[in-house]
């Protein structure tokens, strides 16, 4: 975050010692340390919240894509079932029609009068 070296810290410490004084400097340093800790915890909490939101967003996108894929699969299966059902019904109707036509035709043995 900040690029502060040891020499910069020494300069800040000397200036603080001169401005604040030797009696109040330890108390001030402790207060600054507590505030820095709070700030660091706050920043880490915000980062964790942002990461959780990103993960939730990714999970929502994944859920939506899975639901769409399942819906597409269901539609495909349903259309294939309808097509197969239609073909089977046509086949059954054709077979039933042939059976009825065969039953209606007189058989050659029945067509001859008894002698």
Condensed to tens digits (0 to 9), the pLDDT of residues 40-73 reads 999 999 999 999 999 999 999 999 999 999 999 9
More confident residue, 104 or 41: 41
Q: Decide which of 112 and 29 is more confident.
A: 29
What is the pLDDT averaged over residues 71-91?
Answer: 95
* Residue 53 in domain: yes
Is residue 60 a part of any domain in this protein?
yes
pLDDT value of residue 65 = 97
Give the per-residue pLDDT at 13: 86
Please say if the pLDDT value at position 96 is more than 90.
no
- Mean pLDDT score, 26-43: 93
Report yes or no on 61 lying in a domain: yes
Instruction: Name all contacts of 23-29 with Cβ < 8 Å and 24+ positions apart.
Output: none
Residue 90 lies in a domain: no
Q: List Cα–Cα distances, 18 to 5, 10, 13, 37, 93, in angstroms.
A: 20, 12, 9, 25, 106
Is residue 112 situated within a structural domain? no
pLDDT on residue 84? 96
Phi-psi region of 61 (alpha: psi -120 to 50; beta: other; left: phi over 0): alpha
- Please state the domain count of the chain: 1
Does residue 71 lie within any of the structural domains? yes
Q: Is the pLDDT of residue 17 over 80?
A: yes
Per-state percent for the chain, helix, strand, coil, to nearest 5: 85, 0, 15
Is the entire prediction scored with pTM above 0.75?
no
Q: Is residue 39, in this structure, part of any structural domain at all?
A: yes
Range of the domain at 56: 30-77
Residues 6+ apart with CB under 8 A from 28: 16, 20
Phi-psi sector, 21: left (phi>0), alpha (psi -120 to 50), beta: left
Residue 22 lies in a domain: no
pLDDT for residue 35: 95
């Amino acid at each position: 975050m900040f690029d502060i070296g040891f020499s910069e810290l020494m300069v800040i410490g000397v200036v603080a010692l001169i401005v604040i004084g030797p009696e109040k400097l330890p108390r001030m340093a402790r207060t600054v340390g507590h505030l820095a800790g709070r700030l660091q915890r706050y920043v880490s909490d915000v980062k964790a919240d942002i990461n959780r939101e990103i993960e939730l967003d990714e999970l929502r996108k994944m859920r939506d894509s899975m639901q769409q894929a399942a819906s597409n699969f269901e539609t495909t299966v349903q259309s294939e079932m309808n097509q197969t059902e239609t073909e089977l019904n046509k086949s059954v109707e054709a077979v039933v029609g042939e059976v009825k036509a065969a039953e209606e035709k007189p058989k050659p043995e029945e067509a001859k009068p008894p002698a």
